[in-house]
Structure 1
Amino acid sequence: MSEQRGNEEQERKEDEETHTGESTLTTDVPEAAEEAEAQVDPQDEAEPLRETQKTGDAGNSTATDVLETVDEAETQADLLDDDERLREPQRRENVGNCTATVKVVLVPGGHVMTVAFAIGLSIQELIRHLAAEVRVPAEVLQISLDGRVVEEQWSLMELGVRPQGSTRMEMSSTDPATHPLRPLRPPEQDNMPDVITVRVQTDEGVFQEVVVEIERPPQQKAFLGGYRHQLTGAEYHHAAVQTRSKRRPDRGAVVFSRDTQTADLKSQVQQCPVHVSTQMAAVGCHVSCGSDRLVAACGGYVTADEHRDTRLRAVICLQSFARRWLARQEVDSMRTDRDRRLAWLEMQERSRTEEKKEQLRDRRRRWMNPQRREDFNLLYHALEKWRCEEEQRINSSLRGAERKAALCSLLQQETQLIDHIGRHRIAARSDNYEQSVMSFLDKSASPHQWRAADGRLIEMDNERTVRARELRDLYIELSRSARSREERLHALLSVKHTVKEHTCELTHDVVDLIDREVDLMTRGVKAASLVGLRKRISTLFLQYIKTPAFNPEVAKLLKVPRNQRKSDTFRCRGCHRNLPSSDFSPSGNTRPSGRCRDCTGLDNIARSRDDLSRYESILKRLRADERRLNAEAKIPFLLQVEDLRYLLEVIWESRSDLQDLFNLVFLRWERRTDWSPWNCILLSKEETSAHLEVEDIHKEYDATFIRRIGQKHTLARCHFRQIPVMAEFLDP
């Protein structure tokens, strides 16, 4: 009996250790009742359940079980007196595993959360449990008791909480703005408490209140089996299938049963059949060999070396196929890279060819239809090149009078070509004149614009812009051709009334010419005879518009306004005129060159006949490349076309024909340093990709080549040091 009681006591201890620290549904009953439940036989427990099912009293089944358990506990109380003394030290150790009711008030919302928690656990573990409930990081939570913050390492037992007792605490967030405390329970569940108090009768006339925590599962618990009353239809669940299975604690040692350690021996006699027996011929015993047959192996005997050789050949075969597959993959990859590289090279070559063809087409278009100053310089350059070639041919093939006659004929042809180019220039200038006049009038009549703080473009008109717009409209009506007589008279009268507002010699001339045209039109003179008169009227009215006294808005657009300072006006050494700085070609010096643009262009037509468009294209490409590499680059934008020409022809000695100049590009010598005349290299377009891949020029290029490039950089330093704007960028 004592042995059975010891086993049941051990099972009860294991049950207590398994359920320690859990915050699930907990029903606390007296220890005597728990010990009695552990000692009750399962068959005895089933008897009250069956009797209850027979009576059909389904509503009082739970209370009857509790009362019967208490009665059985009283009967076993005397048997457990001796065991109480032995379990007293262990019970004191398990006091910390007992639970208590903790009511937590969320500050400042005032919502109350009630949980059952072991009094031996620390406040830090309680905070972690609550943080998971309210879904807030545990680092921002703090627990207060009676107005003061509780240390996290303290336990509920140290704070004075007793087993099966209750306490009230406040929980707040240190960061309420980011992590506020809000209850996560749905509103329909707010009327259900988290903890209820059950009054259980432990003895006759003795009742004890037990705190029970209600667990709300996320889903309805499934029916796992039980009994159904045939009359009332009430269902009774199995306690075994509705309760979690008990697990024995790990003892720390591997235990084996005796059955697994003992071998089971059996003795059995077996008699072989006759046909499996073997009989040997001997003296006095004859064995017939009539039905015998000779059995031989299909193949020969294979030795260990032969087997190893076979396996080796198989391995070599597999390796050869695998290496062949790997080699084929590598070759395919190399072939793909080669095809991609060839396609890229072909694309680069095609782009260079197309670019060169486009440049040639552009030059041919400029030859056939010149419109700008650079286009006519190209024509004069081609004319000079043709004249030099013809003169060289005449000097090398003819002598005496024939040579002089050929040179005279060449001079006449040159004069005729210059005359044709001049006519094209006059026609282009007349076409461009109307465009320049309209652009000038549109600029003077445009409203003032500025960008607002919100990014909108604001426009404003004043009396001066309105005046300029009216004069522009009058000039457009006056210059319009193919008009009827009435419209022309209306335009002339409008201009006459406008200019009569001011009295001066210019306005008198305009009025006299308008009266003359009106008189001739009334006499029936044809419009073709009035072209010159109308041109004079338009020219004088344009002069009237460009006068700041009559149109104040044009003062900011005139080349030499009246309020211009003398420091902005320079004297040309060729035509001896005082012109603004905008009429001179820019240079690296602080002052413009001695001759204006018109004198420079006239000298180019008469003597030098140079074409700088090819150098201008190289400079544009250089500026575009440097802007892409460094948006703050300054030196390429300070260089002028003449400076680049000197750098290319004198320093780098590249006096080549047109095709070579189209194929030349300026690049950086040191990749990590901004471009400058003393940090550059002149290469062809085919060589640029190879130079851009060079990381260290001292490792890739020969010392002689590097020394020759350094000499060119020294010459560039000496030349550009004379220009004050470029001198400040030189190394100290």
Structure 2
Amino acid sequence: MSERRENEEQEVKEDEEEEEETDTNVEPGGITVEQPAEDDREPGRRGEEEQEDRTTPDVLETVEEAETQADLSHDAEQLGEPQRTEHVGNSTATVKVVLVPEGHVMTVAFAIGLSIAQLKLHLANELRVPADVLHIFLDGRAVEDQQSLMELGVRPNGSTRMEMSSIDPDSHPLRPLRPPEQDNMPDVITVRVQTEENMFREVVVEIERPPQQKAFLGGFKHRLTGAQYHHAAVQTLPKRRADRGVVLFSRNTQTVELQSEAQQCPLDASTQMTGIGCYVSCMDDKLVAPGNYITADQYHEERLRAVVVLQTFARRWLALKEVQRLRRDRDRRLVWLELQERKRREEKEEQLKDRRRRWVNPQRREDFNLLYHALEKWRSEEEQQINSSLSGAERKAALCFLLETETQLIAAIGHHRIAVQNNNYDKVVRNLLDKSAAPHQWRAADGRLIEMDSEHTVRAGELRDLYNNLNSESQEERLEHLLTLRHTVKEHECQLTRDIVDLIDREADLMTRQVKVASLQGLRKRISTLFLQFIKTPAFNPEVAKHLKVPQNPSQLKNDMFQCRGCQRYLQSSDFSPTAGARLSGRCRDCTGLDNIARSRDDFSCYRNILKRLRSDEMRLNQDAKIPFLLQVEDVRYLVEVLWASRSALHSSSDLYSLVFVRWEKRRVWSPWNCILLSKEETSAHLEVDDVHKAYEVTFLRRVDHKHMLARRHFSSVPVMAEHLEPTAALGNQLVSKPVTMATGKPTVHTPAGSVH
């Protein structure tokens, strides 16, 4: 028996697999035809099935197929397979119901184990008519309500076609809820699915139509093509939450169900007294003792005391906050003052280090002026001490020894100056060669720096490299460099090139005779000097012409040459020191420097620092400042020494390295008649003054106005400075500065005419 049951179960599984591989196709007549898979067909029946497929199926063929299916189901029941029947009854089939006489088709996925009565109930609910008026026909025969789809021959995952009419078509007509014009898609489609490699399976898919239109969830439109895309909506219902036993109300509505309900007041909500026939328990009673009576004045007084206490704590908190703020401001102020003091101290130390460095290793003309100034100061102190302590022959001997010592120091400074000039000469030559060999540069529209080499810059670069190779200390490649130089200069035939070629041949001959290198230094120096002259000639190196001090055009020299009254030489205007009056001094820079070394030995670096700081401060306050850039070092020296006596106007500080020029009235542009000389510590306090006429006393104001009048009278004769002055009717012939607007954006303030002097 067990072997028989196993064979039967195996046959049932094979039948189920055959049923799953079948597919359904919708024919033109609307009748669903069941057709087995092509791979499972028997060879003998394949031709017959192909012939049946070529013929148009009708209702009779469908009836015969249904009877065959019923016979197969009946044979399966006789074999005694209860487990398969139960499984098959739960399978679904596609039922197409034709509404008579309208001809509309309704497609329903229905379990084949359910009865026709249940199918009527489902269709009646869809059509909204009573189930009693429905009458279903299959192939022209009426179907009983107790029969199931499986008994009618419908196989699992198959399809069938039935007709349905109404007994009372006048009262209950059969009309579909969805209009026919909206039914544009077939009810059943066949989808081909790949199961394995090179194996496909056709699956019947039923189209489920939603009862309502999907909601519009938004979308977007393509700007180029104009196509509209909508967001997709799913057809699955939301997951139902588990019931927690608590009544939940929807957030979408606030409607409350109202209902009338009678209630009885509880016992403690009414007044009840003990009486005849009524007993009231006193177990829950409480004894209440009356308190003191509080009047309105007492109540308000109590509230007032509470308010005073609250205000006391609040004001204490506010006072603490204010004290903390003042303490923070004080700490910040102390830190700022300490930083300023540290900055001034570091700046002072940096100045001393710079002066010490310039004393120890002078490199520029200003450094040597500082040395001569220190020498003159030392000589004056020594001479004063000798004159005050000695007399007679001892005094003369001490003065002679002082003169000899001064002479030795001057000679030492001169030797060091000559060595520095030689080093600076090499630097100047290298700088000139690098400038002439530099490529042309310009800024593009997008901000990039563009460089371009021309044939002249390439030529200048080659000459520069050859000059550097000749002056190098390498002796192994000396003959090769000399040969390259000989070929370079022989391209141009002139007296200079012939001299260079003769010197090159002489040095090559001496080197072959193994002459010492020390004996060839003079010859090599001559070759280097003549080759540098060759490089500086514009005919041989056109790019160097723009970097030469002496222009090559004689017409330019005609109007730019002046005679020096000291050395009686004709020099260019750049060799003279101009003043603010745009007039050249009678002596050139070399004569002026030599006279300063021989006589006064003054150091002008402090005045140059004052002018440099003045220009930087004015550029920060006013981008259009002009007067500070018209002044020269000599003009600043006149202002410091003559007008302000080399002292601070407030505390008479005489340290020139700590004095600066600032505006007298900060809302006016700086000028010699609107300035004051102060130390760096006094500058910050003066710039915080809004009105100088209220901050300073009358005596100090008159003294400052007098100095401004002298500066105005001195610079009024200078043409370039007179352009920045204008006459005032109230002051007669006196001149005042023009009011300007500071770079901070504040409004222009015009000073009254009476406050100038």
Q: Scaled by the length of structure 1, what TM-score is found? A: 0.60
**2:477 maps to 1:433:** no
* 1:331 to 1:449, Cα distance in 2 relative to 1, 3 A: closer
Q: For 2:437, which of 423, 440, 445 is the aligned residue?
A: 445
* 1:266 to 1:134, Cα distance in 2 relative to 1, 3 A: closer
Matched-pair contact (CA < 8 Å) for 1:618–1:664: yes
Cα shift at 1:580: 1.6
Q: Which digits, 9 at most, give the CA deviation of each residue in 1:14-41, with x for residues without a partner?
A: xxxxxxxxxxxxxxxxxxxxxxxxxxxx
**2:751 maps to 1:707:** no
Q: For 2:525, which of 525, 535, 539 is the aligned residue?
A: 535
Counterpart amino acid of residue 517 in structure 1: E
Cα shift at 1:186: 2.9
**2:626 maps to 1:625:** no
Matched-pair contact (CA < 8 Å) for 1:134–1:184: no
**2:493 maps to 1:498:** no
Q: For 1:520, which of 510, 520, 531 is the aligned residue?
A: 510
SS state of the match for residue 594, structure 1? strand
Matched-pair contact (CA < 8 Å) for 1:623–1:637: yes
Matched-pair contact (CA < 8 Å) for 2:436–2:547: yes
**2:137 maps to 1:58:** no
Instruction: Find the counterpart in structure 2 of residue 729 from structure 1.
Output: 724
Q: Distance in 1 between matches of 2:580 and 2:311?
A: 73
Q: For 2:637, which of 641, 645, 648 is the aligned residue?
A: 645
Q: Which digits, 9 at most, give the CA deviation of each residue in 1:301-333, with x for residues without a partner?
A: 999999998887776665555444433332222
Q: As a proportion of its length, which structure holds more helix?
A: 1
**2:474 maps to 1:482:** yes
Instruction: Find the counterpart in structure 2 of residue 584 from structure 1.
Output: 576
Within 5 Å, give how 1:17-36 maps onto structure 2.
none
Q: Distance in 2 between matches of 1:637 and 1:584?
A: 18
Counterpart amino acid of residue 614 in structure 2: L
Instruction: Find the counterpart in structure 1 of residue 375 from structure 2.
Output: 383
Counterpart amino acid of residue 646 in structure 1: Y
Counterpart amino acid of residue 504 in structure 1: C
Cα shift at 1:471: 1.9
* 1:674 to 1:461, Cα distance in 2 relative to 1, 3 A: same
**2:499 maps to 1:509:** yes
Q: Distance in 1 between matches of 2:254 and 2:373?
A: 106
Q: Distance in 2 between matches of 1:338 and 1:312?
A: 38
Matched-pair contact (CA < 8 Å) for 2:647–2:653: no
Q: Which digits, 9 at most, give the CA deviation of each residue in 1:484-514, with x for residues without a partner?
A: 2xx1112222222322333433333322222
Q: Which digits, 9 at most, give the CA deviation of each residue in 1:678-717, with x for residues without a partner?
A: 1112111112222222222233233332232222211111
Matched-pair contact (CA < 8 Å) for 1:506–1:540: yes
Q: For 2:318, which of 320, 326, 334 is the aligned residue?
A: 326
Q: Which digits, 9 at most, give the CA deviation of each residue in 1:428-449, with x for residues without a partner?
A: 1111111110111111222333
Q: For 2:665, which of 670, 681, 703 is the aligned residue?
A: 670
Q: For 2:552, which of 562, 567, 578 is the aligned residue?
A: 562
Q: Distance in 2 between matches of 1:398 and 1:532?
A: 53
Q: For 2:674, which of 675, 679, 686 is the aligned residue?
A: 679
Q: For 1:571, which of 563, 574, 590 is the aligned residue?
A: 563
Q: Which digits, 9 at most, give the CA deviation of each residue in 1:598-631, with x for residues without a partner?
A: 1111111111211111111111111111111122
Instruction: Find the counterpart in structure 2 of residue 367 from structure 1.
Output: 359
Q: For 1:354, which of 346, 349, 354 is the aligned residue?
A: 346
Q: Distance in 2 between matches of 1:525 and 1:244?
A: 117
Structure of larger gyration radius: 2
Matched-pair contact (CA < 8 Å) for 1:134–1:183: no
Q: For 2:589, which of 569, 572, 597 is the aligned residue?
A: 597
Corresponding pairs, count? 497
Counterpart amino acid of residue 186 in structure 1: H
Matched-pair contact (CA < 8 Å) for 1:667–1:675: yes
Matched-pair contact (CA < 8 Å) for 2:456–2:543: yes
SS state of the match for residue 571, structure 2? strand
Q: Distance in 1 between matches of 2:437 and 2:295?
A: 111
SS state of the match for residue 666, structure 1? strand
Q: Distance in 2 between matches of 1:658 and 1:707?
A: 20
Matched-pair contact (CA < 8 Å) for 1:559–1:580: no
Q: For 1:186, which of 230, 237, 241 is the aligned residue?
A: 230
Instruction: Find the counterpart in structure 2 of residue 458 from structure 1.
Output: 450
Q: Distance in 2 between matches of 1:659 and 1:712?
A: 18
**2:337 maps to 1:270:** no
Q: Distance in 1 between matches of 2:364 and 2:251?
A: 100
Q: Distance in 1 between matches of 2:469 and 2:355?
A: 38
Q: Distance in 1 between matches of 2:707 and 2:606?
A: 22
User: Which is bigger in relative contact order (C-alpha 8 A, separation at least 6)?
Assistant: 1
* 1:453 to 1:269, Cα distance in 2 relative to 1, 3 A: closer
Cα shift at 1:342: 0.5
SS state of the match for residue 660, structure 2? strand
Matched-pair contact (CA < 8 Å) for 1:560–1:579: no
* 1:591 to 1:495, Cα distance in 2 relative to 1, 3 A: farther
* 1:311 to 1:553, Cα distance in 2 relative to 1, 3 A: closer
* 1:187 to 1:462, Cα distance in 2 relative to 1, 3 A: closer
Q: Scaled by the length of structure 2, what TM-score is found? A: 0.58
Q: For 1:394, which of 382, 386, 394 is the aligned residue?
A: 386
Q: Distance in 1 between matches of 2:552 and 2:360?
A: 42
Q: Which digits, 9 at most, give the CA deviation of each residue in 1:52-75, with x for residues without a partner?
A: x999932344999xxxxxxxxxxx
* 1:361 to 1:63, Cα distance in 2 relative to 1, 3 A: farther
In structure 2, list runs of 5 or more residues that go unmatched: 1-119, 132-216, 241-249, 257-268, 283-288, 728-757
Instruction: Find the counterpart in structure 1 of residue 541 from structure 2.
Output: 551
Instruction: Find the counterpart in structure 1 of residue 688 from structure 2.
Output: 693
Q: Distance in 1 between matches of 2:303 and 2:361?
A: 85
Q: Distance in 2 between matches of 1:586 and 1:593?
A: 6
* 1:649 to 1:58, Cα distance in 2 relative to 1, 3 A: same
Q: Distance in 1 between matches of 2:310 and 2:231?
A: 72
Identity rate of aligned residues, in percent? 66
In structure 1, list runs of 5 or more residues that go unmatched: 1-52, 65-132, 136-178, 190-218, 224-240, 248-264, 277-296
Q: Distance in 2 between matches of 1:457 and 1:323?
A: 65
Q: Which digits, 9 at most, give the CA deviation of each residue in 1:272-311, with x for residues without a partner?
A: 99999xxxxxxxxxxxxxxxxxxxx9x9999999999888
Q: Which digits, 9 at most, give the CA deviation of each residue in 1:108-139, with x for residues without a partner?
A: xxxxxxxxxxxxxxxxxxxxxxxxx999xxxx
Q: Distance in 2 between matches of 1:267 and 1:613?
A: 110
Cα shift at 1:337: 1.1
* 1:515 to 1:220, Cα distance in 2 relative to 1, 3 A: same
